[in-house]
Structure 1
Amino acid sequence: MKEYHYPRQIKKVVCSDLDETFLPHNPAEYSSSGVADLESFLLRAIDEQSLIFGWITGSNLDAALRKTKDYISYLPHFIASSLGTEFYWVKNGKMVEPLEWKQKIENSGYSSREVSRALAIIKLSGIELLEEPQDYQGKYKSTFYYFIRAQMEEDFQIISQIAAVHHCKVLFNRCNPAAGDPENCYDVEFIPHCCGKGEVIDFLKENLSLSSEDFYAFGDSCNDFSMFSRAGHAFLVGNAETSAKEDYPAVLNENYCVGIRNKLIELL
């Protein structure tokens, strides 16, 4: 797999969610997604705009690479996988995890043992969580389905309180059937307090000495909003979830990479 080259100095960063933003869930839509045109645009913009491009995705690293193997021609400059709990620079065929990223997770108190303890107490509280497929589990992320019931708000409050005691942050996001999720349920995701999609942009700002105005973010669902809040330019693709469109007004006219490319041409 080819890689994008790096500019001499990084001045701008384009961040994209993966599933149903950059990558259609349905392979029949690959040919019309516009990925090849977006890649060609990025190759020019790396030098002309001094930018880099990366994925910030809920999928783990293995799943992201497997799902895009026959879809892309170029690996991105960075991959923040497992809902922004893992970060890798893509360099010379290797995934390089920065030492400072690993250290901040180690210092957070997060561990799989603490997550297991929290889950045991949640189960004793009468709340059922169903483990999600392996593609959505990570080194620092445990993900479960919660099927909607009448006392959902109370359940979420209990889960959050238990998670906090066990050094975890818990995120609740409505599942997207278009991306292969079941109907009428939420993702319940246990991650370190210092991680998340928005925290990836915070990390890049600090390490690259950039501001919010230097970031361009694209997504399709409510779990991209923390990323949007840190980026000076943030948009839902045209095929985004209806619930996300109801809560966020900046929606592109086109779907997938077609929308991303056209908006970048307009802004850069």
Structure 2
Amino acid sequence: MKTIYFPEHITSIACSDFDETYFAHQHSHPEDVKALESFIAQYAHKGLLFGIVSASTKEMIESCLNHGPNEIYPHFISTNSGTEIFYFDDEQWRRDEVYHTKFVNNYDKSLILNIEHVLKSKNIDLITQMPFINAPFTRNYYYKMINKETDAKNFDIIRKLAEQHHFCVNISMCNPLIGDPKNHYDIDFYPQIAGKHAVVRYLMDKFGIPQSETFAFGDSGNDIKMLRAVNYGYLVNNATPEAKKLYPNITENTYNKGITEVLTAHFKG
């Protein structure tokens, strides 16, 4: 992977979800990837900071990038539902220790395991997503659909338990295109001070980026808060039907071509 220029004076930021937004698992178009990477490389010299904000682990993201058509790493990646931030500089990933310390000092992952135990006693079975088993502050599960009424009741119980333990929970339809099982929901627990939107706000404050120069892109329900946290938030055109019902701004193009579309219109318009 090539090293991308890390801007000395950051004036704008663009954050993208990873799976099925920045990275197309089943519909890889190398020319679209190259176009976006060329744009980022060019405008990094003009102060654009670009990164991935994902529920996935660092290892999952790196593996996809290393085996896909990508030629450069983004400036940063935020992993595990916005509980970690890593910057790629000087040929290596460097963790944001200030951000990390916020969670070390305030959250104990065992609380999520207590929630899991209580839910089991209420006959609400969650299936642990093993790739996330070692995530330091989060826990990711699958929930198999039962029926609309029962699912709604169970989701209400899950949300209330999470709130009581000072955790947020994201509940969204699984996407089989990225290897998720059909007819299941993602159930992701993360600390209340975390989340994709929290990452955007933290980076804005850290680098002094004005709200007017903030962008975000996503494809599913767990991206909506992030899109609303910026000035220019968009779902890419291949977004899930569920997400499109929740958020109005949608690109004309799919995947990373949709990202390039919006950034080009803004910076070259």
Q: Scaled by the length of structure 1, what TM-score is found?
A: 0.92
Q: How does 1:185-196 map to 2 (within 5 A)?
A: 185-196=184-195
Cα distance, 1:33 vs. partner?
6.1
Residue 131 of structure 2 is matched in structure 1 by: 134
Between the aligned partners of 2:168 and 2:111, the Cα distance in structure 1 is 12
Q: How does 1:7-156 map to 2 (within 5 A)?
A: 7-26=7-26, 29-32=27-30, 34-48=32-46, 50-71=47-68, 72-108=70-106, 110-134=107-131, 138-149=135-146, 150-156=149-155
SS at 1:178's partner residue?
Answer: helix
| 8 A Cα contact 2:137 2:190, kept in partner | yes
- Higher mean alpha-carbon deviation, 222-231 vs 238-247, is at 238-247
Q: Percent identity?
A: 29
In structure 2, list runs of 5 or more residues that go unmatched.
none
- Higher mean alpha-carbon deviation, 204-213 vs 12-21, is at 204-213
Cα distance, 1:184 vs. partner?
2.3
Which amino acid in structure 2 is aligned with residue 78 of structure 1? F
Residue 246 of structure 1 is matched in structure 2 by: 245
Cα distance, 1:153 vs. partner?
2.2
User: For the structure 1 residues 74 and 32, does the alpha-carbon distance in structure 2 shift closer, same or farther, using more than 3 Å as the test?
Assistant: closer
Cα distance, 1:39 vs. partner?
0.6
User: For the structure 1 residues 239 and 137, does the alpha-carbon distance in structure 2 shift closer, same or farther, using more than 3 Å as the test?
Assistant: farther
Q: Scaled by the length of structure 2, what TM-score is found?
A: 0.92
Between the aligned partners of 2:31 and 2:139, the Cα distance in structure 1 is 30
Which amino acid in structure 1 is aligned with residue 5 of structure 2? H
Residue 222 of structure 1 is matched in structure 2 by: 221
- Higher mean alpha-carbon deviation, 161-170 vs 208-217, is at 161-170
| 8 A Cα contact 1:88 1:95, kept in partner | yes
Cα distance, 1:180 vs. partner?
2.3
In structure 1, list runs of 5 or more residues that go unmatched.
none
Matched, 1:163 2:162: yes
| 8 A Cα contact 2:83 2:100, kept in partner | no
Q: How does 1:249-260 map to 2 (within 5 A)?
A: 249-260=248-259
| 8 A Cα contact 2:84 2:96, kept in partner | no
Residue 237 of structure 1 is matched in structure 2 by: 236
| 8 A Cα contact 2:3 2:72, kept in partner | yes
Between the aligned partners of 1:54 and 1:136, the Cα distance in structure 2 is 24
SS at 2:163's partner residue?
Answer: helix
Residues paired across the two proteins, number = 264
| 8 A Cα contact 1:129 1:146, kept in partner | yes
- Higher mean alpha-carbon deviation, 234-243 vs 162-171, is at 162-171
Matched, 1:178 2:170: no
Which amino acid in structure 2 is aligned with residue 11 of structure 1? T
C-alpha root-mean-square deviation of aligned residues, in Å? 1.7
